[in-house]
Amino acid sequence: MIMVMLLGNAALHGQQQLGITWHRGSVMKHAPSVAHLHQQMPGVEMFYQWKVSGQKKWHTSFPNLQRRVAVHYFWYDPDKPLGNTMSIIYYGGQSLSLSKNISLGYRLGAGPGFVSRFYHPEDNPRNSMISNFLNYTLGGHLDIRWHWHPRWSFSTGMGIVHLSNGAWKKPNQGINQISMHVGLSYICKPDTQRLERQKYSGLAQHYWQVGLAGGFKQHEINTPRMGILSMHTYYVAQIKQRNSFFGGVDAMYDPGKSYWIDLYALPYSKGLEGYTQLALTGGYERRIHRTGISAQLGWYLYDPIRVNRKLYQRYSIQYHWSSRWSSFVALKAHSGTADWVEWGMVHRLSLRNAD
């Protein structure tokens, strides 16, 4: 689903390039329980990148849009319980020319990730970061690029790659790989035309939306995996049809909290009273044609069985099928630790100036 939302019907007729990037970084110590896994590691990224071609109407609204399919590989200390990682990430980003030969760009992406050594109660009990071979991956990078030749360019920058199974299986503190990088790329097909930015007419500028999503999570090792339900109501205000700010209420239902009720004999019923969470939330969405990437913060108003801090984050990818309907996948987290991954649908109400 992620690949369908991101790829769409991309026409590979703009500028195309192949490249390799060398990384040097470390694993972040985002919790005391993972401090023993902190280490430095080298890595490599191989990628294919292309720009929009101008063949579709919306291309002229994003003339600097660049898309990339990249394979990341990081080597870890063989004497520590955390194994090597590989990620296949689909990126989208844009660049800004600082001078004739220098540009500044960013890219954000998602895809599958693989870990060679993960938690096992007998064979690898000290790996508290990850317990799955297959995981979700999120990546974000900033680059400065020097176009020193019509066909060649050099880049340097920094970024972060996050791997997590979305609390599908515990332990799951998540791996946060932050690194500096240098790279070299070859332009195998130059731009055939220069696109001029034009006004883009998108969805309504102001509207209400309601959403429904679901997923699964495991609260602790050896506890059953439980389903979760999430609902929201947001008011959305768009700025220049590409940027949206939103705020509203999240309502979540987590039956896995029965584990804590039983463990500590808490005075809450196993139902709406004990399983419900209510929160105020707000965030920002960056939209490129039908695909939107958003980040938000939430603050619990009602969370009777609180095992995390009152502040949480949600990162999502949303595909707008029409002016009223969209689907999304989102990661809810507390600091660097995933709470769950949810899949859902959104319906927009009170549309104005809709396309």
Q: What is the mean pLDDT of residues 134-153?
A: 94
DSSP H or E stretch at residue 7: helix 2-7
Residue 189's pLDDT band (boundaries 50, 70, 90)?
A: confident
- Residue 130: both structure tokens together: 């990850």
Task: Supply the pLDDT for residue 319.
Answer: 94
- What's the pTM value of the predicted model, to 2 decimals? 0.85
With pLDDT > 70 as the criterion, what percentage of the chain qualifies? 88
DSSP H or E stretch at residue 6: helix 2-7
Report how far residue 92's alpha carbon sits from residue 140's, in angstroms, rounded to the nearest whole number.
Answer: 10
Q: What is the mean pLDDT of residues 231-247?
A: 89
Q: Other CB atoms closer than 10 Å to residue 309's CB: what's the count?
A: 10
Task: Supply the pLDDT for residue 25.
Answer: 95
Alpha helices in 223-309 (DSSP H): 258-264, 272-275
Instruction: Delimit the domains of the chain by residue range.
Output: 2-189, 206-349
Q: Other CB atoms closer than 10 Å to residue 257's CB: what's the count?
A: 24
Task: Supply the pLDDT for residue 198.
Answer: 57
Find residue 89's DSSP bridge partners.
70
- Residue 350: both structure tokens together: 């009170």
Amino acid at 206: H
pLDDT in tens, 17-58: 999 999 999 998 877 888 888 899 999 999 999 987 666 766
Q: Are domains 2-189 and 206-349 of this chain identical in fold?
A: yes
CATH 2.40.160.20 fits 206-349, yes or no: yes
CATH 3.90.1150.10 fits 2-189, yes or no: no
Residue whose C-alpha is closest to residue 63's, from 155, 198, 187: 198
Report how far residue 266's alpha carbon sits from residue 252's, in angstroms, rounded to the nearest whole number.
Answer: 20
242 backbone dihedrals φ, ψ, rounded to 5°:
-115, -30
Q: Other CB atoms closer than 10 Å to residue 227's CB: what's the count?
A: 13
Q: What is the mean pLDDT of residues 206-234?
A: 93
DSSP 142-185: EEEEE--SSSEEEEEEEEEEEEE-TTSSS----EEEEEEEEEEE
Task: Supply the pLDDT for residue 223.
Answer: 87
* Residue 211 contacts residue 330 (beta carbons within 8 Å): no
pLDDT at 1 over 50: no
